[in-house]
Amino acid sequence: MRRFLLRRLAAIPLTLLAVSLLVFAATELVPGDVARTILGREAGEEAVARLREQLGLDRPLAERYTGWLSGFFTGEWGDSHTLGVPVRDLVLGRLADSLILGGLAFALLVPVAVTLGLVAGVNHDRPVDRVISVTGLALGAIPEFVTGVVLLVVFAVRLRWFPASAQAPDGATILTRLGHLALPVISLVLLCTGYVARHVRASTVAAVESPYVRAAELRGLGRAQVVRRHVLRNSTVPATSALGVQLQFLLGGLVAVELLFNYPGIGALLLQSAIDKDLPTLQATAMVLGVLYMSIILAADLAYRLLDPRVRLGGAAA
């Protein structure tokens, strides 16, 4: 366990380095001149050259990379080209907003998906299971902006239960804010539930059909007792890793959902800065998201290992 942890921790800087290289390369290989893009066609050649120098674009590639990387780790993220504000405040502020949205979705996702997966798994191959499985499968395949659109049309346009925008007016109460977040959160949950539920279902089926459940039933435990005492843990633990994957998915889904619901999150920022070719913002956003991704992977792996005694304590799997 300790060795695993050390290895994973040691891998983080390496992965970060790879991510930074990718981000930097992607942004550097942009066709066309950034300075020209910023200033527009009409700007004079001199102005462009000045801006290039100002942005450090005239320095060698390696120097710019190391400069950028060290800047990123020391918190010197520069200013946004288009918005003119410090990138750090911008990105971290948007990140906080996105984390609220994503966190709410995650908090809703886990109980819903686990319950559905358990119900489907315990009743596997019965109608309940088929309904849950097929619905989950279908919803998981539909892009989140599509479910979001349907939710909008039904709940915001027809029924008018929820506002169409995720952005609450300033000074709104928590309840109002939650109301604004309801539709985006639901579309994210719908996206991910199917997949997680599927995993929980699979491990539930495995547990239900396992010799130890059979043995427990033969010792006279009732169905409910068996599920509570033996199936629950064995079916949720393996699903932790599925949750990790879905968290990443959720994070990716933020981009489209934030766009659809006009939510000022980090996903929308990523998209906007990319379209605007706002390189400092884009690089910082991508790096922050990369770090977030890695943390999720690590957390999911760690959770899995902590929850499963076979992995936690070592020894052979019987």
Partner 1 sequence: MSAVTAGAGGVRRRVAGRDFRVALVAGGALVLAWAVVAAFWPQLVPYDPLRHDPLSRFLPPGPEHWLGTDQFGRDTFSRMLAGARPVLQVAPLATALAVVAGTAVGLVAGTFGGLVDEIVMRLLDAVVVFPAIIAAVLFVALAGRSVTVMVLVVAGSFVPIVARSVRAATLVEREKAYVEAARLRGERPWSLMRREIFPNVGTTVLVEATSRFGDAIFAAATLSFLGLGQPPGSPDWGASVSDNRVWLQLAPWTILAPALAIASLVVGIALVADSLRGRWEAS
Partner 2 sequence: MTGRATGGPRLPAPREPVTRDVDLTRPRRPGQGENPHGPGAWSEENSHGPGSRSGGSGESGEGGPAGRGLRVTGLSVSYRTARGEVPAVTNVSFDVAPGETYGIVGESGCGKTTLSRALGRHLPPGGSITGGGVTVDGVEVPALSPAELRRWRTTSLAVVHQEAGSSLDPTMRIGAQLAEVLRLQGRGRAEARREAVALLARVRLPDPAAIARRYPHQLSGGQQQRVVIAAALATRPRLLVLDEPTTGLDATVQHEILDLLWALRAETDAAVVLISHDLALVGRLCERVGVLYAGRMVEEGPAAEVMASPRHPYTSALLASVPRLGVSRHARELAAIPGRPPVPGEEVGGCAFAPRCALADDLCRKRTPALEPAPGGRRARCHHTDRLLATPGSPFEEPSDAPGAPFAEPLDSSDSTGSSGSTGSPLEPTGPADGTDAPSGVPLLEVRGLTRKYGRTIVVDGVDLTIGRAEVLGLVGESGSGKTTLARAVAGLGPRGTGTIALHGRELAATVGRRDARDRRRVQMVFQNPETSLNPSHTVRAILTRAVRGLGGSRTAAELAARASLDDHLLDARPDRLSGGQKQRAAIARAFAGDPELVVCDEPVSALDVSVQAGVLRLLSEQQRLTGTSYLFISHDLAVVGYLADRIAVMYRGRIVEEGPASRVLAGPHHPYTASLVAASRARLDDPESIRLPAGEPAEEPVKESAEERVGSARAGGITRESEPARARPSGWASRIRWERAAGRDGVTKRKDANERKGVNVWEGVNVREGATGCGFAARCPLRIEGLCDSVDPPVAHTGDGHTVRCHLDTGDLPDTGDLPRTAVPVTAPGDRGTRHDPPTRDAKAPGDAQHTPATQHARHTHDTRDAQDSRDTQDTRDKEDGSP
Distance separating alpha carbons of residues 110 and 132, to the nearest angstrom? 15
Q: Per-residue contact track with partner 2, 184 to 203, x per CB under 8 A?
A: ---------------x-xxx
Identify whether the C-beta of residue 116 lies closer than 8 Å to the C-beta of residue 131. Answer: no
Stretch that binds partner 2, among 86-94, 135-143, 185-193, 225-233 (CB under 8 A): 225-233
Q: Is 256 in the site for partner 1 (CB under 8 A)?
A: yes
**Residues between 259 and 288 that touch partner 1 (CB under 8 A):** 259-260, 270-271, 274-275, 277, 282, 286
Among 47, 83, 128, 294, binds partner 1 (CB under 8 A): 294
Q: Is 229 in the site for partner 2 (CB under 8 A)?
A: yes
Stretch that binds partner 2, among 33-41, 85-93, 204-212, 250-258 (CB under 8 A): 204-212
Among 1, 5, 6, 18, binds partner 1 (CB under 8 A): 18
Distance separating alpha carbons of residues 8 and 309, to the nearest angstrom? 19
Q: Say if residue 64 is exposed, middle or buried (CB neighbours under 10 Å; 0-12, 13-18, 19+).
A: middle
Least spacing, CB of residue 229 vs partner 1, in Å: 24
Q: Is 125 in the site for partner 1 (CB under 8 A)?
A: yes
Report how many residues bind partner 2 under the rule CB under 8 A: 45
Q: Is 156 in the site for partner 1 (CB under 8 A)?
A: yes
Q: Say if residue 19 is exposed, middle or buried (CB neighbours under 10 Å; 0-12, 13-18, 19+).
A: middle
Least spacing, CB of residue 69 vs partner 2, in Å: 25
Among 242, 255, 256, 270, binds partner 2 (CB under 8 A): 242
Is 28 or 217 the residue whose CB approaches partner 2 more closely? 217
Is 75 or 314 the residue whose CB approaches partner 2 more closely? 314
Q: Is 206 in the site for partner 1 (CB under 8 A)?
A: no
Among 32, 127, 171, 315, binds partner 2 (CB under 8 A): 315
Identify whether the C-beta of residue 90 lies closer than 8 Å to the C-beta of residue 270. Answer: no
**Residues between 109 and 168 that touch partner 2 (CB under 8 A):** 125
Stretch that binds partner 2, among 86-94, 97-105, 233-241, 274-282 (CB under 8 A): 233-241
Q: Which residues bind partner 1 (CB under 8 A)?
A: 15, 18-19, 22-23, 26-27, 29-31, 125, 130, 134, 137-138, 140-143, 145-147, 149-150, 152-153, 156-157, 164, 248, 251-252, 255-256, 259-260, 270-271, 274-275, 277, 282, 286, 289-290, 293-294, 297
